[in-house]
Amino acid sequence: MNKFSKEVMSVGEMASGTKLTVPVYAFKGKNNAAASVYIQANMHGAEVQGNAVIFQLLELLQHCNLQGNITLVPYANPIACNHKNGEYTLGRFDPITGVNWNRMYHFDESVIEPFVQQYLDASEEEIKDKFQQLLLSEVENKLKHSTWGLTTGQCIAYQLQRLAHQADIVLDLHTGPISSKHLYCPEYAQASAKYFDIEHTILIPNDFDGAMDEATFCPWWSLQQAYENLGRKFTMGQGVFNKESFTVELGSQEQIDLDVAKQDALSILSYLQYQGVIDNKQYQPQKMTRYAGYLKDYKALYSPMGGMVDYLAEFGKPLAAGEPLVRILRMDNYGDGDALHYVSLEQEVIPILHFASASVNQGTELYKVLCNYFEL
């Protein structure tokens, strides 16, 4: 049975002096050449299923043939996790600054060019080591030497990022509001998406917008492109550049299901087996039809009116053009107007998630749907 270590990482302090802490579990693999992995959950407060998945992973990994190192961090954001209002967990945005908790990670693209100039002819090993050190020192500098201080969210994010940069593979476990499972996957890693038991994949470009997945794959993608511009060709996903990061959307917020979490954990083990992080051939992807589409084709549908929404469109199934996604009830119009309004689209789409409440204002995001999708 594999042993894991457990540490408590301090990520900030509350007004009363109480320490904000995050548990960090780690397994050591036996093969230095194998890819290493970082998995975190619950950066957004209401998105709790990932904690249950980490529980199941800890249970299963103790009996795996571990090759690479694996670090697991549940409750990654202790403020968001405890941010309740009435019956609900909020925790998508820092309540003080209003900034999305998953937009505070760091990447400064200006470090790429000088690095490539300095290490143009270096060995692959040296490039990998030195660039990883550079990314770590960038985050370290932010944490230790910010003259003007850091926001609470940056302080949490950078400490998580310091762990993530030490790994080759990063899985950030989230959920949608009311949602089907889906995977955000860098475009170059499309082939890896079929090792997860997730039916829908959104392929994302090399644009850094502050999220954990981007903060850990964009630097390497940009580095690879900078080398290519100077005539040295590497392939993303291979050799030095075997760096993959995913945001794994595990379903709906505000709920855990330990049985589903077991399935989600098996899905992650199937991917880790494919990557050689574990050597357990029993973990294989399930047979299923997997659809993918590009981020530009992952569209939000905003409500044309206020009202009470009956969400009609089923997740994950192609919805024909003209079929209604929702019907909106307007009791103020009953008797002297239209009490029911149907909303449909002029193209076939796959509905992925919808808003968590039935009552919406005009302009509330009703559904997110995948257009121009294709089979993986």
Using CB under 5 A, list all residues that contact Zn ion. Answer: 44, 47, 174
Q: How far is the CB of 198 from Zn ion (least distance, A)?
A: 15
Give the separation between CA 53 and CA 56, rounded to whole angstroms: 5
Q: How far is the CB of 174 from Zn ion (least distance, A)?
A: 3
Residue 127 sits at φ, ψ, to 5 deg, of: -60, -45
The DSSP annotation for 1-57 comes to ---EEEEEEEEEE-TTSPEEEEEEEEE--S-TTS--EEEEE-SSTT--HHHHHHHHH
Q: How far is the CB of 92 from Zn ion (least distance, A)?
A: 7
Give the separation between CA 41 and CA 62, rounded to whole angstroms: 19
Task: Return the number of the residue (47 or 214) whose C-beta is nearest Zn ion.
Answer: 47
Q: How far is the CB of 182 from Zn ion (least distance, A)?
A: 12
Task: Return the number of the residue (173 or 325) whose C-beta is nearest Zn ion.
Answer: 173
Sheet holding 350-354, edge to edge: 178-179, 350-354, 365-370, 298-302
Q: How far is the CB of 116 from Zn ion (least distance, A)?
A: 33
CA-to-CA separations, 8 to 13, 23, 78, 134, in angstroms, rounded: 14, 5, 12, 25
Other Cβ atoms less than 10 A from the Cβ of 136: the count is 14
At 63, the amino acid letter reads H
Task: Return the number of the residue (2 or 100) whose C-beta is nearest Zn ion.
Answer: 100
Task: Return the number of the residue (109 or 209) whose C-beta is nearest Zn ion.
Answer: 209
Q: How far is the CB of 176 from Zn ion (least distance, A)?
A: 8
Contact between 247 and 42 (Cβ < 8 Å): no
Task: Return the number of the residue (44 or 165) whose C-beta is nearest Zn ion.
Answer: 44
Task: Return the number of the residue (41 or 240) whose C-beta is nearest Zn ion.
Answer: 41
For residue 319, the 8-state DSSP code is: B
Contact between 215 and 161 (Cβ < 8 Å): yes
Measured on CA atoms in the order 49, 17, 90, 142, is the torsion positive or negative? negative
Element (H, E) at 94: none
Task: Return the number of the residue (40 or 67) whose C-beta is nearest Zn ion.
Answer: 40
Q: How far is the CB of 47 from Zn ion (least distance, A)?
A: 5
Task: Return the number of the residue (37 or 48) whose C-beta is nearest Zn ion.
Answer: 48
Q: Which residues contact 273 (CB under 8 A, 6 or more apart)?
A: 195, 279, 280, 281, 283, 284
End-to-end CA, the chain: 36
Q: How far is the CB of 208 from Zn ion (least distance, A)?
A: 17
For Zn ion, which residue has the nearest CB?
174
